[in-house]
Amino acid sequence: MMHSEATADKGARELAASLRELTAVDRLLAAFQRAVQTVAGRSVASRPYPAQDLTESRASPLSESERRHAAALIRVDHVGEVCAQALYEGQSLGARHEPVRAALERASREEIDHLAWTRQRLQELQGRTSLLNPLWYAGSFAIGLAASRLGDRLSLGFVVETERQVEEHLLGHLERLPANDLPSRAIVAQMKEDERRHGHDAAEIGGADLPAPLRLAMRLAARVMTATAYYI
């Protein structure tokens, strides 16, 4: 009888281990699928397009230089959303607690809206997405996965600081976009509000303050990305 119980316990443990492994494999496959969708531009927004009721006809038309400048700024914003998808994906994959993983996945779904909106606006401005999007995604995914290895509190703190910096970045774009580019301004304004909320939510569920050197490194990396994406 004792031998049978031991065998049953061993079988249960092996089954549980198999299920955990299957779950990990499923998550990896899902992460790969989302990476392809993000880089290939197949993401679909779940919320209405913020600029759907706005057209350039409501203000003076954009000059050619204004159009090119606006397209470059929106391309930078689109790259930011590619990076956000990868960061959240990496952090979610390595999250240690389910509530943290759920919060990251919830924020990621809203970032998909940003991804789709900026891509649509780029098309309207006759612009293109960054040629380096696969590289941006891969690097950001690695950073997100590494952040998750530091533990959930620091991983969430990474979200808080990222969203704080992105909010500042978007505010700068609102100041730099042509005043008569109403559609782009509506999109960026909505994105800015969403990013503020994501950072607040991450702080509320336990995000820790990051060390000053790490915050500085994040700012420097963001500057390199934005300067490059403006042109490439």
- pLDDT of res. 176: 96
Which residue has 């969403």 as its token pair? Answer: 194
Q: Does domain 2-229 have CATH number 1.20.1260.10?
A: yes
Q: What is the pLDDT of residues 92-120, one digit of tens each?
A: 888 888 888 888 887 778 888 999 999 99
Contact between residue 156 and residue 164 where contact means Cβ atoms under 8 Å apart: no
Domain ranges of the chain: 2-229
Instruction: Report, as ranges of residue numbers, the positions in the chain whose pLDDT lies below 70.
Output: 1-25, 27, 30-32, 55-60
Contact between residue 185 and residue 174 where contact means Cβ atoms under 8 Å apart: yes
Tell me the C-alpha distance between 108 and 120, whole Å: 19
Name, in order, each residue with C-beta under 8 angstroms of 199's C-beta and a sequence gap of 6 or more: 159, 160, 162, 163, 164, 167
Name, in order, each residue with C-beta under 8 angstroms of 37's C-beta and a sequence gap of 6 or more: 43
Q: ∠ CA(87), CA(91), CA(95), 5° rounding?
A: 170
Q: What is the pLDDT of residues 165-194, one digit of tens each?
A: 999 999 999 999 999 999 999 999 999 999
Count of CB atoms situated within 10 Å of the CB of 144:
26
Name, in order, each residue with C-beta under 8 angstroms of 206's C-beta and a sequence gap of 6 or more: 100, 152, 153, 156
Indicate if the alpha-carbon torsion angle 150, 153, 156, 160 is positive or negative: negative
pTM equals 0.83
Which residue has 């509190």 as its token pair? Answer: 153
- pLDDT of res. 18: 45
- pLDDT of res. 107: 78
Rg of the chain over Cα atoms, rounded to whole angstroms, equals 21
Indicate if the alpha-carbon torsion angle 12, 17, 21, 27 is positive or negative: positive
